[in-house]
Chain A
Amino acid sequence: MAILPPGVDAGRFAAAIRRFEEIVGPEWVFTSDEDLHPYRDHFSYLKDQPNEPIPSAAVGPDRVEQVQDIVRAANEFRIPLYAISTGKNFAYGGPAPNVRGSVTVDLKRMNRVLEVDDKRHFALVEPGVSYIDLYDYIQERGLKVWIDTPDPGWGSPVGNALDHGIGYTLGFYRDHFGAHCGMEVVLPNGELMRTGMGAMPSAKTWQEYRHGYGPDPAGLFAQGNFGIVTKMGFRLMPQPEHWRNGLITVPKRRDLIPLIETVNYMTDLFMIGEPWYGSPLRQLMGNTEFREAAGRFDEEEMDRQAAAARLHSWQVELQFYGSERTTLANWEYAKELVARAVPQARFTDGESLPVPLTKEQIHETTGPYPTNMRRNVTQGVPGLGIWYMTGRSEMNPNAWDETHVGLFSAVPRSGEGVLEAQQVFARIARDLEIPSFNNALGTPVNWYQFTFLMGAGFGIPRDYTPEGKKRAADILRRILEENAKHGYGDYRAPPILQDDVADQYSFNDHVLRRFHETLKNAIDPNGVVSPGRGGIWPAAYSSFRGALRG
């Protein structure tokens, strides 16, 4: 199944491949179906369809000069490129490009940890370094810094940050792009640029002062296609001496409002790690009477049944990093603040452990209360444990999640905002005639310190035939449209949905997209760097906008 880049004939493609082989060596240029199979999205909605975004070739440089030469060759031969780091952006397209026939620039071999400083608390890494690699590097050297890992942890700090990925420790570090400090980029003409203090050749503060001088273009390289990032610095959290957690529950449905307001206060004082919200009432969803009340959003009846079951409506688990004394003082203060806002709140002390936790302590789940929290990631320990959710299970021993996709929308960070979003999601499900789970008990994730993201409990049909996948993708698009009507914007998307998500950010006749595309056409006139990524289409490939919808 030979695929050619769009508008490129076989002769020109063969010449381009020969050039790529000269640049990186023939053993690192891949063109056979067998070799290219791992460059497809394993969870694609378009698997084996005529418009599945499959690359025509892949090329694996191991140093920045090779990346520059690849970009120059792509301009010469008019070949669209698509850069990946570790290629593990599953649920958001994996390693697959936006344009079928692109040449994938696989940066995995650029896997050097260039520096970790545990006195000034930063790292400088190449794109092929994974979170597991960086964690191992730090542990092997006994350095006193933590990483902030996504879950699972096989991805790349560079790639994850460039898709606005998130983690689970203190707020500043959870925003992986926000915690970056300085990057090196191969521009679409092959020139090498450094941002922040990296622009000053003699500076020794590249990973300490992000802004440098003048406009900082770093944001253009996240969810964009303005260059290929070849190095990136990250601020790292110093290893704390102690960790403590605790559980707070509040009895009534409307108590969510003062609870969130109070937790926001603590969050924005930088007093707590990630708060984990939930609802103890989920255990009542097997009860028909309660489920029907929840389906009607009958708050009075839900409160009555919760009280009858001696259950509280909401919970939040807080965690504290510091010393034994400061974490205790902050927990006591947290209790005081919530008790002032919700006098009927209950508090359960969690665990109080010196850091680093032992492996046994990380895996311990029989704490003072049932927890939803994944403790390894709150301790900056990467793993693949969470991957269980995509695979075989006792309930589905011969099935797996073949269209694993993430859909999380930013909703207002307030109790009112959450309660409204629950009703909106339920209405959307009803209108689309798809099952809706637990919407009345849906809670936000506070991955970003100042943002609530909510994934609706929609039951997307698990029909993995091509027609079934098409229907499911259409449902996802309808959900995005309906969400946007309520101001809920998706934070991240796979290539099949990137045009749809970008369409929702349409203020003033899509001026943001027009601004991006004006810039794109100016610095990448041939449109060779990742055309279509983030819904940004250069003129040379503008006819491909929406091509993955069909």
Chain B
Amino acid sequence: MTGRRFTRLALAASMLAAWSAAGQAQQVRDDEAVARGKAKYEHTCAPCHGRGAGDDGRVMLPGTAALAIKYRGELPPALEDRQGLTADTIRAFVRNGSFSMPPFRPTELTDREIDDIAAYLAVSSSAAAAGSQR
């Protein structure tokens, strides 16, 4: 191995390590966003849009039930099962409201928290889709 070749290899190795470190750091940031999004979703969205049963014998929670009526099986009614919900789409519904869902203010849900929720829903819906294909 010549000295020049060794240098090139060492450079490539260090770049790979840097990319790997950057990738890991990005992954950590993504994981943290998903975790934050999950916590915020469960606190703010799931009481209406969750997968669980409604109270008083109702099959679904109100937001989930309303979307089941709207989509009639064409799309999953629970947001955690719904693919393709971008942060911008979620933001439009959150800030404007829809039917009896009132709009939410930035003091309740910041734009960054909406981004986090979108990150969580992307993961949860992918997992749901993978689960349904098995």
Assess whether A384 is in contact with B103, with CB atoms less than 8 Å apart: no
Assess whether B70 is in contact with A42, with CB atoms less than 8 Å apart: no
Assess whether A58 is in contact with B100, with CB atoms less than 8 Å apart: no
Assess whether B56 is in contact with A42, with CB atoms less than 8 Å apart: no
Assess whether B69 is in contact with A383, with CB atoms less than 8 Å apart: no
Assess whether A38 is in contact with B61, with CB atoms less than 8 Å apart: no
Assess whether B95 is in contact with A42, with CB atoms less than 8 Å apart: no
Q: What residues of chain B lie closer than 8 Å to A86, measured between beta carbons?
A: 108
Binding site for B on A (CB under 8 A): 28, 30, 34-35, 37-39, 42-43, 58, 60, 86-88, 90, 94-95, 106, 108-109, 128, 132, 136, 153-154, 362-363, 365-366, 374-376, 383-388, 390-394, 397, 400-401, 404
26 pairs of residues in contact across A and B, judged by CB atoms under 8 Å = A38-B95, A38-B104, A42-B100, A42-B102, A43-B102, A58-B105, A60-B106, A60-B107, A106-B105, A108-B108, A132-B47, A153-B47, A375-B56, A384-B47, A385-B56, A386-B62, A387-B62, A388-B58, A388-B62, A388-B65, A391-B65, A392-B99, A393-B69, A394-B69, A400-B99, A401-B100
Most buried by B among A60, A375, A387: A387
Q: A113: shortest Cβ distance to chain B, in Å?
A: 14
Assess whether A37 is in contact with B100, with CB atoms less than 8 Å apart: no
Q: Do most interface residues of chain B lie in helix, strand or loop, or is the interface mixed?
A: loop
Assess whether A30 is in contact with B99, with CB atoms less than 8 Å apart: no
Q: Give the contacting residue for B55; candidates A30, A376, A394; CB below 8 A.
A: A376
Q: Is B89 an interface residue (CB 8 A)?
A: no
Task: Return the CB mask of B56-68 against A: 1 if under 8 Å, else 0.
Answer: 1110011101100
Q: What residues of chain B lie closer than 8 Å to A132, measured between beta carbons?
A: 43, 47
Q: Give the contacting residue for B70; candidates A38, A397, A401; CB below 8 A.
A: A397
Q: What residues of chain B lie closer than 8 Å to A90, measured between beta carbons?
A: 102
Assess whether A87 is in contact with B95, with CB atoms less than 8 Å apart: no
Assess whether B56 is in contact with A34, with CB atoms less than 8 Å apart: no
Q: Other than the known A391-B99, A391-B101, A392-B69, what 4 A-B pairs have Cβ atoms closer than 8 Å?
A: A37-B95, A38-B97, A385-B62, A392-B66
Q: A131: shortest Cβ distance to chain B, in Å?
A: 11
How many residues of chain B get a CB closer than 8 Å to chain A's CBs?
29
Q: What residues of chain B lie closer than 8 Å to A363, measured between beta carbons?
A: 53, 55-57
Q: Give the contacting residue for B100; candidates A38, A106, A362, A390; CB below 8 A.
A: A390
Assess whether A87 is in contact with B105, with CB atoms less than 8 Å apart: yes
A108→B113 CA distance, assembly (Å)? 15
Indicate whether A38 sits within 8 Å of B58 (C-beta atoms), given known contacts A391-B66, A404-B100: no
Indicate whether A384 sits within 8 Å of B61 (C-beta atoms), given known contacts A374-B55, A397-B69: yes
Which B residue's beta carbon lies closest to that of A151? B55
The 5 closest A-B pairs by CB, nearest first: A365-B57, A38-B103, A390-B100, A385-B55, A42-B102
Q: Is B85 an interface residue (CB 8 A)?
A: no
A39→B100 CA distance, assembly (Å)? 15
Q: B30: shortest Cβ distance to chain A, in Å?
A: 24
Indicate whether A37 sits within 8 Å of B96 (C-beta atoms), given known contacts A90-B102, A363-B55, A374-B55: yes
Assess whether A28 is in contact with B95, with CB atoms less than 8 Å apart: no
Q: Is B54 an interface residue (CB 8 A)?
A: yes
Q: Is B87 an interface residue (CB 8 A)?
A: no
A86→B44 CA distance, assembly (Å)? 12
Task: Return the CB mask of B93-123 against A: 1 if under 8 Å, else 0.
Answer: 0011101111111111000000000000000
Q: Is B35 an interface residue (CB 8 A)?
A: no
Which B residue's beta carbon lies closest to that of A86? B108
A344→B10 CA distance, assembly (Å)? 95
A392→B95 CA distance, assembly (Å)? 20
A276→B44 CA distance, assembly (Å)? 30
Q: B20: shortest Cβ distance to chain A, in Å?
A: 35
Q: A118: shortest Cβ distance to chain B, in Å?
A: 22
Which B residue's beta carbon lies closest to that of A387? B62
Assess whether A392 is in contact with B70, with CB atoms less than 8 Å apart: yes
Q: What residues of chain A lie closer than 8 Å to B63, measured between beta carbons?
A: 384, 387, 391
Indicate whether A384 sits within 8 Å of B62 (C-beta atoms), given known contacts A42-B97, A154-B47: yes
Q: What residues of chain B lie closer than 8 Å to A390, measured between beta carbons?
A: 100
A390→B96 CA distance, assembly (Å)? 17
Which residues B21-55 have CB closer than 8 A to chain A? 43, 47-48, 53-55
Assess whether B58 is in contact with A385, with CB atoms less than 8 Å apart: yes
A37→B93 CA distance, assembly (Å)? 12
